[in-house]
Chain A
Amino acid sequence: MDFTFWDIVRNLLTGLQWTAALSVVAFIGGGLIGLLVLLMRISKSRFARTLARGYIELFQGTPLLMQLFLIFFGVALLGIDISPWMAAALALTLFTSAYLAEIWRGCVESIANGQWEASASLAMSPLEQMRYVIFPQAFRVAIAPTVGFSVQVIKGTAVTSIIGFTELTKTGSMLANATFEPFMVYGLVALGYFLLCYPLSLSARYLERRLHASA
Chain B
Amino acid sequence: MAYQFDFLPVLQNSDLLLRGALFTLELTAIGTLLGVSLGIVGAVVRAWNIRPFAALFGLYVELIRNTPFLVQLFFIFFGLPGLGLHISEWQASVLAMVINLGAYSTEIIRAGIQAIPKGQLEAASALAMTRFEAFRHVVLQPALAKVWPALSSQIIIVMLGSAVCSQIATEELSFYANFIQSRNFRAFETYALTTLIYLCMALLIRQLLNAFGRRYLSRSR
Within the complex, what minimum Cβ distance (angstroms) separates B179 from chain A? 13
Number of interface residues of A (CB under 8 A): 39
B68→A66 contact, CB < 8 A: no
Closest A residue to B24 by beta carbon equals A63
Chain B residues lying within 8 Å of A77, measured Cβ to Cβ, are 3, 188
Once the chains are docked, how many angstroms separate the CA of A185 from the CA of B75? 9
Does chain B have a CB within 8 A of A28?
Answer: no
Q: Majority SS of interface residues in chain B?
A: helix
Chain B residues lying within 8 Å of A181, measured Cβ to Cβ, are 82
Residue in contact with B187 in the complex, picked from A73, A183, A190, CB distance below 8 Å: A73
Residue in contact with A70 in the complex, picked from B156, B192, B203, CB distance below 8 Å: B192
Once the chains are docked, how many angstroms separate the CA of A180 from the CA of B65? 27
B71→A169 contact, CB < 8 A: yes
Interface size class of B (residues with CB under 8 A): 35 or more
Interface bits A54-84 vs B (CB < 8 Å: 1, else 0): 0001100111111101100110011000000
Does chain A have a CB within 8 A of B202?
Answer: yes
Within the complex, what minimum Cβ distance (angstroms) separates A206 from chain B? 14
B164→A162 contact, CB < 8 A: yes
Once the chains are docked, how many angstroms separate the CA of A190 from the CA of B63? 9
Chain A residues lying within 8 Å of B156, measured Cβ to Cβ, are 61
Chain B residues lying within 8 Å of A157, measured Cβ to Cβ, are 68
Chain B residues lying within 8 Å of A139, measured Cβ to Cβ, are none
Interface bits B48-83 vs A (CB < 8 Å: 1, else 0): 000000000000001101111111101100111111
Q: A-B pairs with the 10 shortest C-beta distances?
A: A158-B68, A63-B163, A182-B78, A197-B66, A183-B79, A183-B82, A73-B187, A155-B68, A186-B75, A61-B202
Beyond A64-B161, A69-B177, 16 additional contacts (C-beta under 8 Å) are A62-B195, A62-B198, A62-B202, A64-B160, A65-B163, A66-B198, A70-B191, A70-B195, A77-B188, A151-B66, A159-B164, A162-B164, A169-B74, A182-B79, A189-B71, A193-B71
